[in-house]
Amino acid sequence: MAVNAPELSPPLPVPGFKVGTASCGVKSPNLKGRRQDVTLIVADVPCHAAGVFTNNRFRAACVRHGEATLASHSESIRAIVANAGNANAGLGEMETVWGRELIETGAAAANVSADVVLSASTGVIGTPFPIERIRDGMHEASESLHDDNWEAAAHAIRTTDTFPKWSSAQVQIDGKTYTLTGIAKGSGMIHPNMATMLGFVATDAPVAAADLKTMLKRVANRSFNCISVDGDTSTNDTLYLLSSGIGLGYAPLADTTLFEQALTELCIELAQLIVRDGEGVSKFVTIEVTGAASENDARTVGRAIAVSPLVKTAFAGNDANWGRILSAVGNAGVAIDTNGITLSADDVLMFENGNLHPDYRDAMGMAVFANPEFTITLDLGMGSEAATIWTGDLTHEYITINAEYRT
C-alpha cells in the first residue's frame, strides 16, 4: 500500500553507460523467468566513482569489497553488478568467496577487469548464495546491455518494493547539459544511515573522484539518511555514484555547486519514493525540526520522532497525539528546554513555547492527521539550525509483512 506513488517520467539514458538485466531465480529457481533479479551497469570508459555504505558492524561481502575497490580504483570504475533475492550476508567465510565470484562473474559479463567492478547484493540473509544461477543470469544480462535500460534495472534491484524507483535530471553548467539518472530500492528496514537500501546514480557530469567522495557523504546525509521506515539498518546498504564525464574527455567542473544541488534533489526524490513504498506504510509524514542548536541536533530529534512506535501508530490511527510526539522529543538525548518547544501539524498550531495553544482543539489536529500526507513542524527555540526527516506510519500491514514472511 504505497502512499501517493507518483507517475514517473521515463529515466534518461546517461552518456557512457549501458544497462542490462536478467531473470535467473536468485531467491529460488522457480522464480527464473518470472522477475528480473540481476543487473549489470557497464561504463564505456573508466569512471570516477564514490560510495556510501551501511554503518552496521555486520557488513556484507559486497560492502567490504566495494569499499576496498573504491579505495584503490576510484578513478577507473567500469561496472556495477547487482542482484536481488540473496544478500550474501551472515554466511561466514563462504560470503567472501561468493562475493569474489560475483565480481568475477560481472567482470566477465561486462568484459572488463575484476579490479574495477563494484557489487551490491540485497535479499535474504544467511541463505547460501546461488552463484551458479547468478553466473548464468549475468551472462544473459550482458546480452541485453543498452543505454536506455534503466527502468528495467530499477525493477531488477527490488526485493519487497511494490514499485520501481528512479529519477532523472538534467543540469546546465557553463553552457553544457549534463544528465543524472538514479535508481533505488528500499522498502522495510529503512532508517537514517541507509538501511537495506541500494542506490546507483550515474552521470556524465565531469567531477573528480576526490570531490565525489565528500559530496556524496553530504548528499546522503540530506537525503537517504533523512528517511526512516522502521528504525532498522541493514548489512548491505550501499549508494554508488559513477561519473563518466572525465573518461568521455570533458574538462572537470570548476564549480560543482550546481551539480551537487541537482544530485541532492535527485537523491531526496529517490529517498522519498522509498518512504512512500515502505513496508505497510499508509502515510507519508514530513518532520521539519527548526530552531536547533546544530543541524545534528535537529536531525537527531527528527529521527527520534520518526522511529517512535507510539508516534508511528498514532500516525496510522489518525490520532493527533502530540503528547507522544513531545515524549519522543524528550527521549532524543538532545539537550532541550521543554519550555521553548513549539509544535504544528500543517498550519495548525498545537503547542507554543511549552504550552498547549489555547485555541487548539483535538478535532483540528485530527483533521490534519487524517490526510495521507502532512508535515509536523517542531521548533526547539534553541538556535537557528534545521533538518527535515521523511517517514511513514506503523501499520498492521508492516506486522503482516515482517511476521509472516521471511525477508
Name the site residues for its own copies (rule: CB under 8 A): 55-59, 87, 89-93, 124-126, 188-189, 230-235, 307-310, 313-314, 316-317, 319, 321-324, 326-332, 334-336, 338, 351, 354-356, 394-396, 398-400, 402-406
- Please say whether the dihedral angle defined by the alpha carbons of residues 182, 164, 60 and 37, taken in this order, is positive or negative: negative
CB of 358 to its own copies, least distance (A): 10
Length in residues, the chain: 407
Three-state DSSP class for residue 353: coil
Comparing CB distances to its own copies, the nearer of 81 and 341 is 341
CB of 375 to its own copies, least distance (A): 20
Query: Alpha carbon of 129 to those of 50, 135, 184, 237, 251: distances in Å?
Result: 26, 11, 22, 18, 42
Query: Alpha carbon of 15 to those of 82, 112, 165, 167, 246: distances in Å?
Result: 21, 18, 20, 16, 12
CB of 322 to its own copies, least distance (A): 6
Separation of first and last alpha carbons in the chain: 18
Query: Alpha carbon of 63 to those of 15, 105, 197: distances in Å?
Result: 27, 17, 12
**Residue for cell digits 517517514?**
391
Exposed, middle or buried: residue 337 (CB in 10 Å: 0-12, 13-18, 19+)? exposed
Comparing CB distances to its own copies, the nearer of 146 and 361 is 361
Comparing CB distances to its own copies, the nearer of 149 and 321 is 321
Q: Which three cell numbers stand for residue 382?
A: 534553541
CB of 319 to its own copies, least distance (A): 6
CB of 185 to its own copies, least distance (A): 17
DSSP 8-state code for residue 370:
T
Pairing of strands 198-203, 238-243: parallel
CB of 380 to its own copies, least distance (A): 11
Comparing CB distances to its own copies, the nearer of 55 and 264 is 55
Comparing CB distances to its own copies, the nearer of 249 and 406 is 406
Q: Contact 85/159 with Cβ under 8 angstroms? A: yes
| Residue among 39, 159, 196, 395 flagged as catalytic | 196
What is the rounded distance in angstroms from the CA atom of residue 198 to the CA atom of residue 183?
8
Comparing CB distances to its own copies, the nearer of 212 and 334 is 334
CB of 396 to its own copies, least distance (A): 5
Comparing CB distances to its own copies, the nearer of 318 and 375 is 318
Query: Alpha carbon of 377 to those of 226, 230, 348: distances in Å?
Result: 15, 21, 10
Q: Contact 312/393 with Cβ under 8 angstroms? A: yes
Known catalytic residue at 196: yes
Q: How far is CA 389 from the centre of its chain?
A: 13
Query: Alpha carbon of 218 to those of 212, 226, 273: distances in Å?
Result: 10, 12, 20
Comparing CB distances to its own copies, the nearer of 94 and 251 is 94
Q: Contact 241/203 with Cβ under 8 angstroms? A: yes
CB of 181 to its own copies, least distance (A): 30
- Catalytic positions, written as ranges: 196
